[in-house]
Amino acid sequence: MDLSTIILYAVALVLLVVSVIKDKEKTKKAVKKGWMAFINIVPVLVPLFLVVGIVLSVLTPQTIEQVLGQDTGIFGVIIGMLVGSIAFMPPFVTYPLGAELLDNGAGYPQVAAFMTTLMAVGLVYWVAETKYFGRKAVVLRNSLAFIASGVVALVVWGVMV
Amino acid sequence: MKKEKEILLTIFKSKMFYVSIVLLIVLFLLDAFHVRVGVSKTDTDALLGVAALKSALFQFISMLKIVPPIFLMIGLLDLWVPRETMIRLMGEKSGMIGVLIALFIGTMSAGPLVAAFPVAQIMLKKGARYSNVLFFLTVWASAKLPILFFQATELGLTYTVITNITLLLIYFAGTLVIEKILTKEEKKQIYTLAENS
């Protein structure tokens, strides 16, 4: 478990204890609310993680290296953004992959395009996010993330190439 | 318990569930015909379908390790923080304080983006400004503190600083633009959705 998870547990625990001391009944209700919020998300989580598993098994770091490896230029940036929007990867896989892509000859802008969309554009989250905020909000948020990634790639291009 | 069961059963109404089942079947068919896509070099004997199920389970379990404190805090926040407080801190007139709170919670958090959705929803339910909640979501998605340290060690400080400052600036402006693009009706719908949760 990493540090932020431990901090999260510690903070939640302290708040829980304070809550119990102040008002037992209210705490019971709060725990029940949290539990229901969790139950509510489970039906979207199961298919979500099935899709994530499928994406992870097909779009492996090796596949991505083949696609993004040597590619330079604006074309590489666009491919990077598209692959990043579809793919899903946990951060601890993402960054070493980025470093490896750089070692294999991909440029910083292409890697930036891929990695920022990978984290911010979540096509795998589509259904879950729609359930919480409605379709238009989801389209807009993902568009913003996509545009931001494009700009980041261009800025990186300007500064680092 | 009856209500919980009802909610859990809605999984069979979700299209995504069936889509993923179909995709899994396709993967197993590919395995049956010995077609190789993806699959890591070190693990060439692994079946695609099995690999997919394995990593789905792994991701699901690592998510379950992170979410209990998040949902506990959602419950506590719902009962202890009055609507007025949330409106003062993150509402329409909160100004930069609301933005900074969104930034702080977003960077300090742990867990995948999907865990942020219920948090964002409770913020909306308590009357936080839409652009602030959206900013919180975008920050959670890409600029978490523990991730930033890792990013700097793997990809260099220059890269980390440039990308994240650019991202934060665009996200900040972009969330305000999105708030303008959504009509009053549409925003009201989003808030109603949150209030009925």
B47 close to A (CB below 8 A) = no
What value of ipTM does the predicted structure carry?
Answer: 0.89
The C-alpha atoms of residue A7 and residue B110 are separated, in whole angstroms, by 9
What's the one-letter identity of residue A114? Answer: F
Asked if B55 and B152 sit in the same domain, the reply is: no
Reduced to 3 states (helix: H, G, I; strand: E, B; else coil), residue B126 is coil
Distance to chain B for A72, nearest Cα, Å = 17
Asked if B38 and B103 sit in the same domain, the reply is: no
φ, ψ dihedrals at A85, nearest 5°: -70, -35
Q: Is residue B165 part of a domain?
A: yes
The C-alpha atoms of residue B115 and residue B140 are separated, in whole angstroms, by 10
Q: How do the pLDDT tens digits run along chain A, 161 residues long? A: 677 788 889 999 999 999 999 999 999 999 999 999 999 999 988 998 899 888 888 888 877 887 786 667 888 899 999 999 988 877 777 888 888 888 888 889 999 999 999 989 988 898 899 999 999 999 999 999 999 999 999 999 999 87
Could A57 and B38 be called an inter-chain contact, meaning their C-beta atoms sit closer than 8 Å? yes
What residue in B sits closest to A97 (Cα-Cα)?
Answer: B154
Q: Is residue B73 part of a domain?
A: no
What residues of chain A lie within 8 A of the CB of B47, using their CB? none
Asked if B22 and B87 sit in the same domain, the reply is: no
Q: Write the residue in B17, B21, B151 that is nearest to A95 by C-beta.
A: B151
What residues of chain B lie within 8 A of the CB of A2, using their CB? 110, 146
Q: Which CA distances in Å does B78 have to A115, B75, B98, B177?
A: 35, 5, 18, 29
Going by C-beta distance under 8 Å and a sequence separation of 6 or more, which residues neighbour residue A155?
B162, B163, B166
Could A160 and B79 be called an inter-chain contact, meaning their C-beta atoms sit closer than 8 Å? no
B149 close to A (CB below 8 A) = no
Residue A145: the pLDDT is 96
Could B63 and A147 be called an inter-chain contact, meaning their C-beta atoms sit closer than 8 Å? no
Asked if B109 and B51 sit in the same domain, the reply is: no
**DSSP state letters, chain A:** --HHHHHHHHHHHHHHHHHHHH-HHHHHHHHHHHHHHHHHHHHHHHHHHHHHHHHHHHS-HHHHHHHHSS--HHHHHHHHHHHHHH----HHHHHHHHHHHHHTT--HHHHHHHHHHHHH--GGGHHHHHHHH-HHHHHHHHHHHHHHHHHHHHHHHHHH-
DSSP state of B43: G
What residues of chain A lie within 8 A of the CB of B116, using their CB? none
Asked if B60 and B87 sit in the same domain, the reply is: no
The domains of chain A are located at: 1-43, 59-160
Q: Which of B70, B170, B171 should be substituted to probe chain A, the one whose Cβ sees the most A Cβ atoms within 10 Å?
A: B170
Residue A78: the pLDDT is 92
Could B71 and A37 be called an inter-chain contact, meaning their C-beta atoms sit closer than 8 Å? yes
Asked if B33 and B110 sit in the same domain, the reply is: no
**Contact criterion met (CB below 8 Å) for A96 and A125:** no
Domain that holds residue B133: 81-197
Q: Is residue B72 part of a domain?
A: no
Asked if B103 and B136 sit in the same domain, the reply is: yes
Q: Whole-prediction pTM value?
A: 0.89
The C-alpha atoms of residue B1 and residue B24 are separated, in whole angstroms, by 31
Q: Give the B window 67-106 contacts with A, CB below 8 Å.
A: 67-76, 78-80
What residue in A sits closest to B181 (Cα-Cα)?
Answer: A140
Q: Which of A29, A50, A117 should be substituted to probe chain B, the one whose Cβ sees the most B Cβ atoms within 10 Å?
A: A50
**Widest distance between CA atoms in chain B:** 62
Q: How do the pLDDT tens digits run along chain B, 197 residues long? A: 788 888 898 889 888 899 899 999 998 888 888 776 655 544 555 688 888 899 899 888 988 888 999 999 999 999 999 999 999 999 999 999 999 999 999 988 778 888 999 999 999 999 999 999 999 999 998 877 777 888 888 889 999 999 999 999 999 999 999 999 999 999 999 999 999 87
Domain count, chain B: 2
Q: Is residue B70 part of a domain?
A: no
Asked if B27 and B89 sit in the same domain, the reply is: no
Q: Is residue B57 part of a domain?
A: yes
Q: Is residue B152 part of a domain?
A: yes
What residue in A sits closest to B8 (Cα-Cα)?
Answer: A43
What residues of chain A lie within 8 A of the CB of B40, using their CB? 60-62
Residue B43: the pLDDT is 54
B138 close to A (CB below 8 A) = yes
Phi-psi region of B27 (alpha: psi -120 to 50; beta: other; left: phi over 0): alpha
Could A159 and B158 be called an inter-chain contact, meaning their C-beta atoms sit closer than 8 Å? yes
Exposure b/e, B134-170, CB count within 10 A at least 16 = b: bbbbbbbbbbbebbeebbbebbeeebbebbbebbbeb
Of the residues B65, B97, B112, the one at which a domain ends: B65
B131 close to A (CB below 8 A) = no
What residues of chain A lie within 8 A of the CB of B16, using their CB? 44, 47-48, 51, 127
Phi-psi region of B92 (alpha: psi -120 to 50; beta: other; left: phi over 0): alpha
Q: Is residue B76 part of a domain?
A: no
Q: Is residue B71 part of a domain?
A: no
**Widest distance between CA atoms in chain A:** 62
C-alpha count within 13 angstroms, C-beta hemisphere, residue B73: 23
